[in-house]
Structure 1
Amino acid sequence: MLWAGLILATVLLAGLWAWKYVTLTETLKDAGPSPEARNNPYLAAERFLRERSVKVQHSDSFTVLNGLPAIDHTLLLLAERDRMSPAQSQQVLDWASQGGHVVFVAEQLWDENSKKSGDFLLDAIGVQQLLTRDLDDEEADKQDEEPAPAEKWAQLTKLYLENEQEPAYIGFDDEFHLYDAKNLAQSWANSEAATHMMQLPWGNGLITVMTDAWIWQNTHIGEYDNAWLLWYITQDSDVTLLYRADKDSLVTLLTRYFPETLAASALLLALWLWQAAQRLGPALPSPALGRRQLSEHMRASAEFIRRHSGLVSLITLLQKDIQQHARRRHPGFERLPVAEQWRLLGRLARLSPQEISQTMRPLASEKLSPIDFTRRVANLQRIRKAL
């Protein structure tokens, strides 16, 4: 009991000391953006629109244009367009002309020498993007100076609305300027130095061009009136946001544009694999290690010639061999008429003129029976031995 009392007293004294001297505080630690926010730089923009009952979907490919409704629909084309083909650019413009609203970022600068920028969408609608420092306006030179605190709002882009006393302030970057070369724009938003947004009609639809879209990314949409601008240009419509366009693989491109060629190549590959595949069967006996006799080599050579050239070729070889032996053994043989040559060979081999004629006559295309072939070979061997 004594020990229990001591332990209880110690616990009470420790509790009184902690109650008097220990203060509990809460600390919030910023863990950074979530994985979803890191993968989607416009996640906050999507949630902002959904909170205002705007139907939003996003895509990672330009194929989203296929079958996308145009009426009462806004396409936020915020992805990099360096892989966008002229055909896809024309598809976007056709979609807008059918009643859709396209919002895209100017990506290339105007080249005065080539009279184009290389940005298919910009060049098609006649809008040029320039560097603000290259403008002739003297006020453009002030952008390189550090603005005073009182001039902070003067550096922002101002959007004036009808029946509104004050403009909306947007945090566009003052480095770029948009120029309407065809004078088609019906509304625009300017800062003190440059124009950063234009809206122009296109067929039955509308096109909005901006110098940059980072104002709607997760880290900047809460600044100034950036979020309000997103709601303003997408109001009363559904929204499709294209913020990342992955490059199509070679297989995807081949499947899309050359399906017949791909199918034929796959079929040829399958046939080649079938032909080259290993075939299983009984093991071949090991060849004898002993050397073959000369007669076996001769028979094998004769059999090879017979299979590839036929019996006539063997007769022809024997006839040529006899001609060569006759020229060596009887000088001047080759200058004799054919009839004299055959008469000489018949006399040496003791064969009748008819047998010599049948044996030595060329057989270019004649077919031989096994019996006729054997008789001719026997006579040719007899003639050769007589020489």
Structure 2
Amino acid sequence: MNQRRQLLLGSALALGLGLLALYLLSRVQPYEETVEHGPAPEAQANPYLAAEHFLRQQGLQVQRADDLQLLSTLPSAGQTLLLLGDRQGMRPRQAERLLAWAAKGGHLVFVAERLWDEDEGKSGDLLLDSLDLQQYQSDDLDEPEAALEAPTPEAGDTTAKAYPELTQLYLENEQAPAYFSFDTGFHLYDAANRAHAWANSAAATHLVQLYHGDGLVSVLSDSWIWQNDRIAEYDNAWLLWYLSQDSAVTLLYHADRDNLLSLLWHYFPQALLALALLLGLGLWRAGRRQGPLQAPASPSRRQLQEHLRGSADFLLRRSGQHCLLQGLQADIQRRARRRHPGFERLGVTEQWQVLARLTRLPSRAISQAMRPLPEQRLSAVDFTRQVAHLQTLRNAL
């Protein structure tokens, strides 16, 4: 009976669980969820990775370089050099080599990095100053020069009027211009009037192209339009292809390779600070002091003999030799008075005779010890000898 009851209970429990599972399955609805992990490490390390892939998709040969050492082996004809990295460390010799490379038939594309300084008559950007190009902030312009120089849009083209912040590039035999999202805060000015092509927004010029020798130079107000997060906007990618078409492309991220110290400071600043602090503490620890090191005092050093010696040294410095010698002579006279009543009333000769009889020392030793002290300071040897005579006489009493 018990087994039958257990079987029935087990069957009922299994049936209940089955019905509950069927009910839950009928209520469950599948769905898809996309988890964004952000850019890949390669994209985070290379802001122009998408530009590289885009150019390769167009069938162009693309290589990446880290410094200007490649100019010695890079041919000029049929090459486009995109100089997208920071050029603060560029030297005049390197700027001359770049422009000489472009003059032999290469196409140099770079970004203007510094603003024109009216007081100094230069910007400090070696490439810009060599090409007589100047960069200003758009807010500092007296009038929208770019708008005056730009071609007139076609009647049916309303994009230029509706989006004045976009940069337009007009090409021959085209109904409408190409549009780019340059930063409108900067303006390029061709002081020598050498440019043969340019691209403008409503108030500024952002792309200038000019011939240089047998080659071509294109100057941009910024290269942010080709970074990973903006290359797909408007015609930004098309401009990259247009400037590098029918050529091999070299992307240069640094005009000069960073030295070891700058790399260490960039990647390990805390370690360098700790090393500098440790080095400073080491120098302070090993530095020479003004005097020798004094050993710590022993706990058992406080003895009566040291106190007496210290007191004697103090009296010697403060009162001089005569005070110490006279103190010994006075002590000898006190002991003699105790052993010979009336000693103080005797003359000097009689006192010396009494001392000789009491101590059984020769009179010569008595006279050397008790004679009057000279006024001049005794030498160290004479002072020591006189103290020895007095101590011998006192100990004999």
Normalised by the size of structure 1, how large is the TM-score? 0.59
Q: 1:140 offset after TM fit, Å? A: 9.0
Q: 1:26 offset after TM fit, Å? A: 0.7
Cross-structure match for 1:183: 193
Q: 1:99 offset after TM fit, Å? A: 0.7
Cross-structure match for 1:63: 69
Opposite residue 103 of structure 1, the aligned amino acid is V
* Residue 238 (structure 1) aligned to one of 224, 244, 248: 248
* Residue 214 (structure 1) aligned to one of 224, 228, 236: 224
* Residue 56 (structure 2) aligned to one of 50, 54, 59: 50
Opposite residue 166 of structure 1, the aligned amino acid is A
Q: 1:138 offset after TM fit, Å? A: 5.9
Shift in CA distance, 45/138, structure 1 to aligned 2, threshold 3 Å: closer
Shift in CA distance, 23/244, structure 1 to aligned 2, threshold 3 Å: farther
Question: Per-residue displacement from partner, 1:301-330 (whole Å, max 9, x unpaired)?
Answer: xxxxxxxxxxxxxxxxxxxxxxxxxxxxxx
* Residue 40 (structure 2) aligned to one of 34, 45, 51: 34
Opposite residue 37 of structure 1, the aligned amino acid is A
* Residue 114 (structure 1) aligned to one of 110, 113, 120: 120
Shift in CA distance, 11/113, structure 1 to aligned 2, threshold 3 Å: same
C-alpha contact 1:198 1:210 (8 A) present in aligned 2: yes
Shift in CA distance, 101/35, structure 1 to aligned 2, threshold 3 Å: same
* Residue 165 (structure 2) aligned to one of 147, 155, 176: 155
Percent identity for Structure 1 against Structure 2: 53
1:325-364 equivalent positions in 2, closer than 5 A? none
242-251 or 27-36, which deviates more: 242-251
Cross-structure match for 1:126: 132
Cross-structure match for 1:78: 84
Point out the structure with max Rg over C-alpha.
2
Distance between the aligned counterparts of 1:163 and 1:180, measured in 2? 26
User: What secondary structure is seen at the aligned counterpart in 2 of 1:155?
Assistant: coil
1:22 aligns to 2:28 (yes or no): yes
Shift in CA distance, 209/65, structure 1 to aligned 2, threshold 3 Å: same
Distance between the aligned counterparts of 1:131 and 1:157, measured in 2? 16
C-alpha contact 2:167 2:199 (8 A) present in aligned 1: yes
Q: 1:69 offset after TM fit, Å? A: 1.4
Cross-structure match for 1:198: 208
Cross-structure match for 1:137: 143
User: What secondary structure is seen at the aligned counterpart in 2 of 1:174?
Assistant: coil
C-alpha contact 2:87 2:254 (8 A) present in aligned 1: no
C-alpha contact 2:160 2:168 (8 A) present in aligned 1: no
C-alpha contact 1:101 1:207 (8 A) present in aligned 2: yes
Cross-structure match for 1:87: 93
Shift in CA distance, 227/7, structure 1 to aligned 2, threshold 3 Å: farther
C-alpha contact 2:134 2:188 (8 A) present in aligned 1: yes
Q: 1:244 offset after TM fit, Å? A: 3.8
1:98 aligns to 2:104 (yes or no): yes
Give unpaired runs (5+ residues) of structure 2: 1-6, 148-158, 262-397
Distance between the aligned counterparts of 1:159 and 1:91, measured in 2? 30
Opposite residue 110 of structure 2, the aligned amino acid is F
Cross-structure match for 2:174: 164
Q: 1:35 offset after TM fit, Å? A: 0.4
Opposite residue 164 of structure 1, the aligned amino acid is E
C-alpha contact 2:145 2:204 (8 A) present in aligned 1: no
Question: Per-residue displacement from partner, 1:17-69 (whole Å, max 9, x unpaired)?
Answer: 12321111111111111100000000011111111111111122222222111
C-alpha contact 2:123 2:129 (8 A) present in aligned 1: yes
Q: 1:189 offset after TM fit, Å? A: 0.2
Distance between the aligned counterparts of 1:218 and 1:58, measured in 2? 16
Cross-structure match for 2:18: 12
C-alpha contact 1:132 1:140 (8 A) present in aligned 2: no
241-250 or 183-192, which deviates more: 241-250
Distance between the aligned counterparts of 1:12 and 1:214, measured in 2? 61
Q: 1:4 offset after TM fit, Å? A: 6.0
Distance between the aligned counterparts of 1:131 and 1:178, measured in 2? 9
Question: Per-residue displacement from partner, 1:123-149 (whole Å, max 9, x unpaired)?
Answer: 1111111111121216899xxxxxxx9
C-alpha contact 2:115 2:134 (8 A) present in aligned 1: yes
Distance between the aligned counterparts of 2:195 and 2:71, measured in 1? 25
Distance between the aligned counterparts of 2:185 and 2:115, measured in 1? 12
Opposite residue 230 of structure 1, the aligned amino acid is L
Q: 1:225 offset after TM fit, Å? A: 0.8
Opposite residue 177 of structure 1, the aligned amino acid is H
User: What secondary structure is seen at the aligned counterpart in 1 of 2:228?
Assistant: coil
Question: Per-residue displacement from partner, 1:264-297 (whole Å, max 9, x unpaired)?
Answer: xxxxxxxxxxxxxxxxxxxxxxxxxxxxxxxxxx
Q: 1:9 offset after TM fit, Å? A: 2.3
Distance between the aligned counterparts of 1:185 and 1:6, measured in 2? 91
User: What secondary structure is seen at the aligned counterpart in 2 of 1:240?
Assistant: strand
Distance between the aligned counterparts of 2:223 and 2:144, measured in 1? 27
C-alpha contact 1:133 1:140 (8 A) present in aligned 2: no
C-alpha contact 2:83 2:255 (8 A) present in aligned 1: no
